Structures are given as C-alpha cells and as structure tokens.
Homo-oligomer: A and B are copies of this chain.
C-alpha cells in the first residue's frame, strides 16, 4: 500500500527485535520526515558498526580493536573470570564498581526451544582460558536457559579441571524485595542459600 521504497524500509525495521508492522511503519514515516543529512548519518552509523565492531579475541565481548578495553587493562585480575551471556551484562556489572576480574561472553545461552546448542556459543575459548584461572564465576541469567547453561558449564569445567573453583552468582530476594511478592523459586533459593549473620 505504501510506495515501494517506504515498504522496503518498513521490512528492514521489522527485522529489529520486538518491532511489529505498526511500529516499523511509524519508524519509516519518521525517517521520511527527517532531513537528508540526518538520514545519511543514520545510514553511515549502521555501516560503521558493521565495519568496526569485532569480538574481542580473548573474552568474546564486542569491541573495536583486537582486544576489548577490559582485557587490555593490566590492572585487572585475569585469574578470575566472570561468565555472562551478553556484553550488556558486563556493562551492568561494571557499573557496580565491585569487580576487578575479567569477563567471558558466551554470546547466547543454551536453549533447547530455540535450538541453540553448546557448539553455537563461545565455550571452547572459555575452556582454554580456564586452564590458568583460579575461579570461574558463572553469571548467566537465573532463567531456565541461564540455569541450563550454568549447569552445563559447571560439569564441563569440573570434568576438565577437577581442582578449579567454579561458583554461581547468588540467587535470592533482590534489594528492597518483599517476601509476599516474590515467586516460589526465588523464595526457595533465598531459604536454601541463607547465610549466618555476623555477631
């Protein structure tokens, strides 16, 4: 129904996550309204991302050079590896300012329903890095796929390096959490992972 070039752009926008027909239409109409300079900038930004971004050859995070900033930082403790599913998680963790080790990005999670198998993830590199590590912290999400991936990695790491310390981030009530709003799984974890209070 729309002119061909507009329909084409709508189709492109629909490939973005969570974008349906209506939203894609709104985006495309907005582009049609923008001035040419702005649209040119947008198109160039798209191409630049594809041209410049690489996966860090050590941890698998997105970066612009050979190695990401964290892996290039000699101040970080390379013996402790925090394993996450995506680069977004690194940003969240770095904001806490509480962690001085390095990261490893799986770029996905094992998912039976989506057909994502261990071979599709950045696991081989983790296994090699783990050789020189003191602790591997499994910090995949506490969702079904996240738990599955953590269990898989725990077994794999343990089988390969029986003496390596493999830990899982704590499950429990979030800060400010109300008991009567928490789901059963969270409450069960909060109970089983309880710890002794200091005197």
Chain A residues engaging chain B, CB cutoff 8 angstroms: 1-6, 8-9, 11-12, 15-18, 23, 25-32, 34, 36, 38-53, 62-64, 86-88, 91, 94
- Which partner residue on chain B sits nearest A37 by CB separation? B50
A46 touches B49 (CB 8 A): no
**Which residues on the B side are within 8 Å of A9 (C-beta)?**
45-46, 48-49
**Which residues on the B side are within 8 Å of A27 (C-beta)?**
16-17
- Interface of A, secondary structure class, is helix
**Which residues on the B side are within 8 Å of A26 (C-beta)?**
16-18
B6 touches A62 (CB 8 A): yes
B52 touches A47 (CB 8 A): no
A39 touches B47 (CB 8 A): yes
A63 touches B16 (CB 8 A): no
A49 touches B6 (CB 8 A): yes
A8 touches B48 (CB 8 A): yes
A40 touches B29 (CB 8 A): no
**Which residues on the B side are within 8 Å of A32 (C-beta)?**
49-50, 53, 62
